[in-house]
Structure 1
């Protein structure tokens, strides 16, 4: 289905007055209540910082597999809700496209709670880039929680600030270009699921393909230039008295044949 209307909340405007903060907070909550997601802009995260985090991730994923395998923490292997095994850094996961096509999805995960070495010896500057990105996202998520608290009269900020050991993670997903002459437009690339944790921030490229479930149907979430997507995850209901719930979402191959076979990349921050 076509894209669903999603609020675009200006975090910069929230700081201009109390009335602007309250209006923005209500807009954010209404969008998440209706569609499970909302866009935010003017977050303070520079595009150059996002691009650099993506760049070092791509540099790492371009390395020979035996080199990447050095950074797989198999002791912390876990499922990601999609039936695949996720390690601390890299995972090759067969992701089904429709009923006939299989492509490889490679994921790179940084969890500050897991004490293991960074691949700085093979990708110089990797740790500095991803740590800085994670810290920037910490600040943004606090501002988002402040808005939710203002509208819902909750204590999400207090929970976040008081639980120093709360888990966070950054994940980079790379979906290679599809090498086929077949018509794959609209095929399911990642099946419907919800994500763990409270909230996530999604930095999309311009390829698209993300869909969220709305009233039993999946609708497109078209990328919004210069904006970050806030997504409601599984624990949000617990912290909001069931007023906001997680969103089920999936990824399809874009329906536009001009971009359907192009690679797709996303960078995400999770507050767990």
Structure 2
């Protein structure tokens, strides 16, 4: 299949035909999407806005609410600190996290000390319990910004719907029923992460050029909304990192580890990182903001290779166990 537009090695796919097109157009878009996720593991979707899912205005407002949150004092943000991988909610100060493919706590601790990720984040989950299998851990909301909670809860659900739409397209592209994944992700055990990459001095940049270390994501698919600063790099088949420059009006989609396992390595969970942009002679690198929605299966979902996709390469794994282990490694807890 010929991909006509790319950003670096990342294909750009028009998603509107899947949302509103004829059955033939839906299937053609699904096949194009799956081809990109097999080959690269990343895709940029344009024309993805919908009445049921994410709107353009929501994305713009989400960045504004994110900026207001990160402008709060350190004291206010630290009072909302992330505590455990089981909860995975709250504020993560700069230097606390070090995303990596390493699994040894000692190795990760050394990386965190020598070259911490140059970012801060706010982690948000589903804000209500529907049943005993839902996370019992509440979100941590800033009291001084009541409108923050009022906006983020419906935005979280809109991102869930977009994730369901993308998973439906993936199912169609794999010759599965379009609703194959619907109930498997219905618990909304996702993570909405607001990210702020503060300006960095030349001295700080000399110690580490990594705003987020090389890593793969953990769940099904990640939705990434980003500003125009850039810095995302995607590893190619030769192991080189290739810049994926922001394309206005697109959302970046990438495969997570559990979806790679689900599809028996047909879809690719690709290593990626965020690096500091060129300062262009300035004393400081520009600030970067992005919003990531990490889609996950329901917590009690057992991830087994989908029948018909070859001899299974992975043993079954409980989603919650996998996510807690990976988050524990990332945060050194």
Q: TM-score range by the shorter chain?
A: 0.7 to 0.9
Aligned-residue offset at 1:136: 1.1
Structure 2 counterpart of 1:68: 77
Q: 1:141 is paired with a residue of what secondary structure?
A: helix
1:113-140 per-residue CA deviation (whole Å, 9 max, x = no partner) reads: 4542553531121112111111111121
256-265 or 231-240: bigger deviation: 256-265
Structure 2 counterpart of 1:81: none
Are 1:30 and 2:40 counterparts? no
Aligned-residue offset at 1:182: 8.5
Cα pair 2:234 2:270 within 8 Å, conserved: yes
**Runs of 5+ unmatched residues, structure 1:** 79-85
Among candidates 39, 52, 55, match of residue 61 of structure 2 = 52
Aligned residues: 261
Structure 1 counterpart of 2:91: 90
Q: What's the TM-score once normalised by structure 2's chain length?
A: 0.70
Among candidates 136, 151, 159, match of residue 181 of structure 2 = 159
Aligned counterparts, 1:1-272, within 5 A: 3-14=7-18, 15-44=20-49, 45-74=54-83, 76-77=84-85, 88-94=89-95, 104-112=118-126, 113=135, 115-116=137-138, 118-119=140-141, 121-154=143-176, 157-180=179-202, 187-215=209-237, 216-255=239-278, 257=280, 261-272=285-296
Q: Distance in 2 between matches of 1:190 and 1:227?
A: 21
Q: Distance in 1 between matches of 2:288 and 2:58?
A: 19
Q: Distance in 1 between matches of 2:7 and 2:46?
A: 19
Q: 1:146 is paired with a residue of what secondary structure?
A: helix
Q: 2:182 is paired with a residue of what secondary structure?
A: helix
Cα pair 2:40 2:236 within 8 Å, conserved: yes
More strand by share: 1
Q: Distance in 1 between matches of 2:117 and 2:185?
A: 39
Q: Distance in 2 between matches of 1:188 and 1:117?
A: 28
Q: What's the TM-score once normalised by structure 1's chain length?
A: 0.84
Q: Distance in 2 between matches of 1:241 and 1:42?
A: 30
Q: 1:159 is paired with a residue of what secondary structure?
A: coil
Q: 2:21 is paired with a residue of what secondary structure?
A: coil
Structure 2 counterpart of 1:83: none
Q: Distance in 1 between matches of 2:25 and 2:88?
A: 42
State the superposition RMSD in angstroms.
2.9
Cα pair 2:197 2:287 within 8 Å, conserved: yes
